[in-house]
Amino acid sequence: MANQPAKKPSRAPRKTSRAPRKKAKASPDEILQYFKDMLMIRRFEEKAGQLYGMGLIGGFCHLYIGQEAVIVGMKAAAEPQDTVITSYRDHGHMLAYGMDPKGVMAELTGRSGGYSKGKGGSMHMFSKEAGFYGGHGIVGAQVPLGAGLAFAHKYKGDNGVSCAYFGDGAVNQGQVYEAFNMASLWKLPVIFVIENNRYGMGTSIERASATTELAGRGSAHGIPGIQVDGMDVVAVKEAGLKANAHCRTGKGPMILEMKTYRYRGHSMSDPAKYRSKEEVQKVRAESDPIDFVKAMLLELGQLDEAKLKEIDKEVKAIVAEAARFAQESPEPELSELYTDILAEA
Amino acid sequence: MPIEILMPALSPTMTEGKITKWLKNEGDSVESGDVLAEIETDKATMEVEAVDEGTVGKILVAEGTDNVQVNSPIAVLLEDGEDASSIGTASTPAPVAAAPVAATAPAPVQQAPVATVEAEPDYDGPMVRQTVREALGAAMSEEMRRDEDVFLMGEEVGQYQGAYKISQGMLDEFGEKRVIDTPITEIGFTGIGVGAAYMGLKPIVEFMTFNFAMQAVDHMINSAAKTLYMSGGAIACPIVFRGCNGAAARVGAQHSQCYASWYAHIPGMKVLSPWSAADAKGLLKAAIRDPNPVVFLENELLYGDSFDVPESDEFVLPIGKAKIERPGNDVTIVAYSKMVGVALDAAEKLAAEGIDAEVINLRSLRPLDTATIVTSVMKTNRLVSVEEGWPVAGMGAEMAAIMMEQAFDYLDAPVKRVCGEDVPMPYAANLELLALPNTDKVTEAVKEVCYR
Ligand SMILES: Cc1ncc(C[n+]2csc(CCOP(=O)(O)OP(=O)(O)O)c2C)c(N)n1
Ligand SMILES: [Mg+2]
C-alpha cells in the first residue's frame, strides 16, 4: 500500500491483479462463507449510506467498507464463549458476530426494533448472546474495557478470549498502554486488534504517530505482535488462530496489526481533502478484500458468474429486508425516555 | 422497475446542495460503489456513490444546478433489461414516513422517577463500637464472603494493606485473585473494572483518593453510567467506585476537593456519602449489592472516628433514604459526610441559644431523598445546606432549587448555603481553616434564616 513506510511488511505489497494464494489454509466451503459474510457487511453498509442520504439515519454513521476481511477472518478464528468490543465503526463487527441485520439497521434509524430500542444509535449496540459488548464512542476506551472482559474470562475460568478492536488513531491514547501493561502483567486472555486503516479521521498515521510500526507497540510491555495483511481474510484467520492459541494457553495478550483501508469517509460528512481519489481508487482496484476472495473462488471452480449473482441477490434481499424493517419499525414509545437508566435490584 | 436516485444528505445538517459534476452519463453502466456525481455542500465537495447497479437512464438535474433539495430525484437508474421508456414508472426507495413525533412530550421532570425507597429497617439487635475504617473493611469482607463475584482492586489494597488501611487483612483472607494490587493507572484499571462488570462480575474499585479518579472519570461516566441506557437495558454495570473524598488536612489544593456534586449530576449513577460507621457499613453493603454503578464518597478524617454499629451481617441500609440525626422544629440543616458532625455540633450550640434545629444526614446524594427534606421544611420553614464543596453548581444549589420548586410556599426565609470557600484549597493552616465550613459558619447561617 502506498506511503506506508513499514520497515518489515509481513508480505510484499500486492501487484495489480493478485494471484489467488496457492495453499489457502481454509477449505473452499469456508472461503465461500467468508465471501458471503464480507459481502453482507458491504451491502449492509452501502444500504446504510443510502438511508443516511435519505435522512433516515441521523448523526454520525461510520461505515466499515474496505475493512470487512478483518472482522470476518477474526470471527472465523473465534470460539463461542469469546467476547468482542470495538469502537463506533461497529456494524461490521455486529453482523460478523451473528447479530440480526434487522436489529442493527433499526438501531441506525432510531427505532424500537433496534438492538438498543433506538436509544443507542449507530455507535452503541450490545448483545450478550453474541458476546458483543459495544459499540463505544470514546476513542481508545474500548481497550481497557476489552481487557476487563478478558479479566472476567480469566476470573470465571471459562476459557474465553476477548478481542478488543481499535484504530491507528486510538493506538496513541494513553489508556491503551495502561491496558497493555495490566493485560500483560496479569496474563489476561485478550487480543488487541489494531485496525490500521491509515487514517484517524483526516490525519494519516504518519502525521499522528512517531512510529508507524504498530504491531510493535506492545514491546514495552512484553506483548508479542504480528503485522497482518488485513485485506486477506485467510491471512487474518490464520493470525487470529495463532493469537487465540496464545491467549487460550495462558500466555497473556497478543497484538495483531491489521493493515487495512477505509474506502468511505470517516463518518458521513467527510470532505476527503486529506487523501487523493487515486489513492482510494488504487486500493479498491488492487487490494479489495472481497474481489480477492471472489478471484480465489473462481479459480477454485467454487463459483461462476451466475452463482455470484445469485449470492449477491440473496445478500441484497436480506439487506433490503433489514432496511424495510428499519423504516417500518416504530419509533420508541415516549415513555422509553425514562427507562433503562438504573437496573432494578 | 427503474430506480430513482435521490439527492443525498451528506452531512447531518445538509438540506440542499449543488451538483457540480456528473461523473456518469446517460447510458453508462453503474456498479454499486461507483462515483456518480460530485456535490458541493455548505461545508465541502463530496462524492455520491451508487448503491444499486444498472444503467443511467436519465439525468434529471443538470451539472451546475444549485439549491437542489435533499431527497429530490436527480437521476434514474435502469436495471438489466429495462429501457428508457419505463422511466415514468420509476420507484424511489421511498422513505417510509417516520412515525410522527407526538407534539406533546411528557411533562419535564427534574430527575428520572425513583422507585419509592423503603424506610430504614428497625434494628434492635446487638451493637458494636467500630471506627468508620473498621466498618468499611467489614462491609467489604462480609460481601466478599457472601458473593464470589465481588472483588477489590486498586492501588495498595493488597500487600500494603490499604493506603488508609481500609482493606487490612483482606489479602490474607481472600487471596490475590480477589484482592488485586493495581499499577498507578487510574483510567486503565477503572476501564478494566467496568469491562469486568459488563460480564457480571461486581468489582469494588478503590481510588486512593477521589482526586485521582479525575483520570478515570471518562470510564465512570461514559462507560459505566450510560451503558444500561445506551444498550436499551441489555448491559448492566454493577460496580462500586470508592475512596476518600473532600478535604484532608494540610495536603494542598490538588489533594483536597469534594466531588459530590460532580457525580450527583450524572443519570445512571448512584452516589452515596456516609458519615457514621453505621452509615459506612450499611451503605457500602448496599452499594456492593446494587446492580448499578455506585460512587461511594468517604472522608479520610472520619476513618478513625468511632460509632455504634449494628452487629448483624444483614444490616444493609436503603439507598435513597436520608436520616434525621436530630429532630428539631425551628430550622432544617442538611449535610452529608463530615459536615453532618459539624451540623450536629452547631445544633447543640444553637439549642443553648433557644434555636431547635433539625439535622438531616443526606447519606444518598443520588437519588436524593427529597421527600424527607421537603417534609422537614414544611415543619421548620427554613433550610440551611452545609457542604465542603464549592458553592457554584454545588449540592447546596440543588437544595435551593428543590426548595423553590417543591417548598416555596413553606419558606419563611431564603435558603442559605454554607460551602467551602470558592478558592483552591490553600496549604497554610490558618487559610485552610478559613476555606472550610465550621460550626460558627453554620450557626451564623442558621441565625440569619431565623432572623436572630
Ligand atoms: C477521546 C476522543 N477524542 C476524539 C474523538 C473524535 N474522533 C472520533 S473517531 C476519531 C478518529 C479515530 O481514528 P482511528 O482510531 O484510526 O479509527 P478509525 O475511525 O480509523 O476506525 C476521532 C478523532 C473521540 N470520539 N474520542
Ligand atoms: Mg484509522
B30: enclosing H helix or E strand: strand B29-30
Alpha-carbon gap, residue B112 to B419, rounded angstroms: 27
Instruction: Please tell me the least confidently modeled range out of A189-203, B48-62, B158-172.
Output: B48-62
Angle in degrees, CA B352, B358, B364, rounded to 5: 140
Cell numbers that stand for B252 in this block: 494542598
Instruction: Please tell me the least confidently modeled range out of A65-69, B6-10, B249-253, B334-338.
Output: B6-10
Across the strands, what pairs with B408?
A: none
Q: What mean pLDDT value characterizes chain A? A: 93
- Residues of B within 8 A of A54 (CB-CB) are 6, 8-9, 71, 93, 95
| Strand arrangement of the beta sheet that strand B3-6 belongs to | B3-6, B73-78, B54-59, B29-30
Alpha-carbon gap, residue B187 to A179, rounded angstroms: 9
pLDDT of A328-338, one tens digit each? 999 999 999 99
pLDDT of B299-353, one tens digit each? 999 999 999 999 999 999 999 999 999 999 999 999 999 999 999 999 999 999 9
Contact B309, B260 (CB under 8 A): no
CA B209, B216, B291, B256 dihedral sign is: positive
Query: What residues 178-197 of chain B have any CB closer than 8 A to a CB of chain A?
Result: 182-183, 185, 187-197
Q: What mean pLDDT value characterizes chain B? A: 92
With a CB cutoff of 8 Å and minimum separation 6, the contacts of B380 are B328, B329, B330, B331, B332, B358
Q: Is the CB of A232 under 6 A from ligand 1?
A: no
A192 interfacial to chain B (CB closer than 8 Å):
no
- Closest alpha carbon to A166 in A228, A233, A255, A287: A255
Band of pLDDT at residue B104, cut at 50, 70 and 90: very low
Alpha helices in chain A (DSSP H): 28-53, 68-76, 91-96, 101-108, 142-156, 174-185, 205-208, 233-248, 277-287, 289-299, 305-328
Cell 413553606 belongs to which residue?
B410
Query: Which of A123, A145, A201 best tests ligand 1's pocket when mutated (most atoms within 8 Å of CB)?
Result: A201
Contact B179, B171 (CB under 8 A): yes
Alpha-carbon gap, residue A178 to A188, rounded angstroms: 13
* Whole-number percent of chain B with pLDDT over 70: 93
pLDDT at A10 over 60: no
Averaged pLDDT for residues A256-261: 98
* Whole-number percent of chain A with pLDDT over 90: 88
Contact A191, A252 (CB under 8 A): no
Band of pLDDT at residue A6, cut at 50, 70 and 90: very low
Encoded amino acid at A94, one letter: M
B400: enclosing H helix or E strand: helix B395-406
Q: Which pLDDT does position A2 carry in this prediction?
A: 38
- Distances A10 to A14, A68, A289, B122 between C-alpha atoms, Å: 12, 19, 17, 70
Partner residue opposite A124 with nearest CB, options B98, B230, B291 = B230
Partner residue opposite A54 with nearest CB, options B6, B41, B291 = B6
Which of A56, A342, A344 to probe by mutation at the B interface, max B CB count within 10 Å?
A342
pLDDT of B122-154, one tens digit each? 888 999 999 999 999 999 999 999 999 999 999
Instruction: List b or e across B214-250, with b for residues whose CB sees 16 or more CB atoms inside 10 angstroms.
Output: bbbbbbbbbbbbbbbbbbbbbbbbbbbbbbbbbbbee
Q: Which pLDDT does position B242 carry in this prediction?
A: 98
Across the strands, what pairs with B131?
A: B306
Contact A288, A42 (CB under 8 A): no
Band of pLDDT at residue A271, cut at 50, 70 and 90: confident
Identify the DSSP state of B95: P
Averaged pLDDT for residues A253-261: 98
Across the strands, what pairs with B76?
A: B4, B58
Identify the DSSP state of B23: S
Band of pLDDT at residue B95, cut at 50, 70 and 90: very low
How far off is chain B from A333, nearest CA to CA, in Å?
10
Alpha-carbon gap, residue B30 to A305, rounded angstroms: 17
Contact A218, A252 (CB under 8 A): no
Residue A267 Cα: closest atom of ligand 1: 19
Contact A316, A36 (CB under 8 A): no
CA of B31 to the centre of ligand 2 (A): 26
Band of pLDDT at residue B106, cut at 50, 70 and 90: very low
What chain B holds in terms of domains, given with CATH numbers, is 3-89 (2.40.50.100), 127-310 (3.40.50.970), 323-449 (3.40.50.920)
Q: A333: how many CB neighbours lie within 10 A of its CB?
A: 12
For residue A196, which ligand has an atom nearest its CA? Answer: 2
Contact A19, A12 (CB under 8 A): no
Q: Which pLDDT does position B90 carry in this prediction?
A: 56
Averaged pLDDT for residues B268-291: 98
Q: Mark residue B175 as left, alpha or beta (left: phi above 0; alpha: psi -120 to 50; beta: remaining).
A: left
Band of pLDDT at residue A15, cut at 50, 70 and 90: very low
Q: What is the pTM of this model?
A: 0.90
Cell 474481489 belongs to which residue?
A291
Averaged pLDDT for residues A50-54: 94
Band of pLDDT at residue B114, cut at 50, 70 and 90: low
Band of pLDDT at residue B189, cut at 50, 70 and 90: very high
Partner residue opposite A53 with nearest CB, options B9, B96, B238 = B9
- Closest alpha carbon to B203 in B261, B245, B157: B157
A178 interfacial to chain B (CB closer than 8 Å):
yes
Contact B185, A178 (CB under 8 A): yes
Instruction: List b or e across B410-447, with b for residues whose CB sees 16 or more CB atoms inside 10 angstroms.
Output: bbeeebbbbbbeeeebbeeeeebeebbbbbebbbebbb
Burial class (CB in 10 A: 0-12, 13-18, 19+), B324: middle
Q: Which pLDDT does position A24 carry in this prediction?
A: 57
Contact A113, A68 (CB under 8 A): no
Tell me whether residues B32 and A43 touch, CB distance under 8 A: yes
pLDDT of B8-37, one tens digit each? 887 777 888 899 999 999 999 888 777 888
How far off is chain A from B304, nearest CA to CA, in Å?
32
With a CB cutoff of 8 Å and minimum separation 6, the contacts of A308 are A294
CA of A176 to the centre of ligand 1 (A): 14
B10 vs A171, more confident:
A171
Band of pLDDT at residue A118, cut at 50, 70 and 90: very high
Domain-by-domain residue ranges, chain A?
A: 28-327
Contact B41, B17 (CB under 8 A): yes
Q: Which pLDDT does position B430 carry in this prediction?
A: 97
Cell numbers that stand for A324 in this block: 424495510
- Residues of A within 8 A of B318 (CB-CB) are none
Of A322-326, B66-70, B88-92, highest mean pLDDT: A322-326
- Residues of A within 8 A of B189 (CB-CB) are 144, 178, 182
Identify the DSSP state of B232: T
pLDDT at A89 over 60: yes
A95 vs B27, more confident:
A95
A10 interfacial to chain B (CB closer than 8 Å):
no
A18 vs B28, more confident:
B28
Contact A78, A157 (CB under 8 A): no
CA of A207 to the centre of ligand 1 (A): 14
CATH superfamily of A28-327: Thiamin diphosphate (ThDP)-binding fold, Pyr/PP domains (3.40.50.970)
Band of pLDDT at residue A23, cut at 50, 70 and 90: low
Cell numbers that stand for A111 in this block: 427505532
B133: enclosing H helix or E strand: helix B132-146
Angle in degrees, CA A32, A35, A36, rounded to 5: 90
Alpha-carbon gap, residue B57 to B26, rounded angstroms: 6
Angle in degrees, CA B72, B74, B76, rounded to 5: 115
- Closest alpha carbon to A192 in A157, A228, A156, A158: A228
Band of pLDDT at residue B44, cut at 50, 70 and 90: confident
CB pairs under 8 A between A and B: 232
Q: Which pLDDT does position B54 carry in this prediction?
A: 87
Alpha-carbon gap, residue B279 to B295, rounded angstroms: 15
